[in-house]
Amino acid sequence: MSKNRALYICIFLFFVYTILNIYASQQFNSLFFHLVTRQKKDDAVLFLKKIQKTAYFSDQLSVFTRLYGASIQEDLQKETEERDKKISQLEALLEKNKYARDVLIKLALLYYENDHPSRAKNYYQKAQTIDPEININELDKL
């Protein structure tokens, strides 16, 4: 009789565990999604920008698109458009003063981010001609 009682207790505990597990999985899933979507979208955009030139980008973009929707692709495009706008503004400044060291450095960095290494190198070399003490590791590799 004690073996049957122990078996019934085990079955009962397993049943309670299963019910609690199902309930918790439903609650935690929505809680996790809520936390991720509210606070981490900007981090996801930053991450995708950093890996944009790698083979993993398309897989990760599809993961984050499922998580955040198509708006994440719009955010990535917006970043590129803002960089292009900054480049236009800085090049207009450079026409007024072709020896503006800081403008040359910013242009080099923006072109580097836009995956135009030859233009980045050109502006970086011009900036180094004006100020030989400039040392930016990422641009020195160009």
Indicate if the pLDDT at residue 111 is higher than 70. Answer: yes
Percent of the chain at pLDDT > 90 equals 27
Question: What pLDDT shows up at residue 27?
Answer: 60
Residue 134 is given by DSSP the state -
Average pLDDT, the chain: 83
Indicate if the pLDDT at residue 92 is higher than 90. Answer: yes
Q: Whole-angstrom Cα distance, residue 116 to residue 52?
A: 14
Indicate if the pLDDT at residue 67 is higher than 60. Answer: yes
Question: What pLDDT shows up at residue 36?
Answer: 55
Farthest CA pair distance, the chain: 97
pTM over 0.85: no
The 10 Å CB-count burial string (b at 16+, else e) for 11-45 is eeeeeeeeeeeeeeeeeeeeeeeeeeeeeebeebb
User: pLDDT tens digits, residue range 22-66?
Assistant: 876 666 555 555 545 555 777 788 888 888 878 888 988 998 888
Confidence of residue 76 (pLDDT cuts 50, 70, 90): confident
Question: What pLDDT shows up at residue 126?
Answer: 92
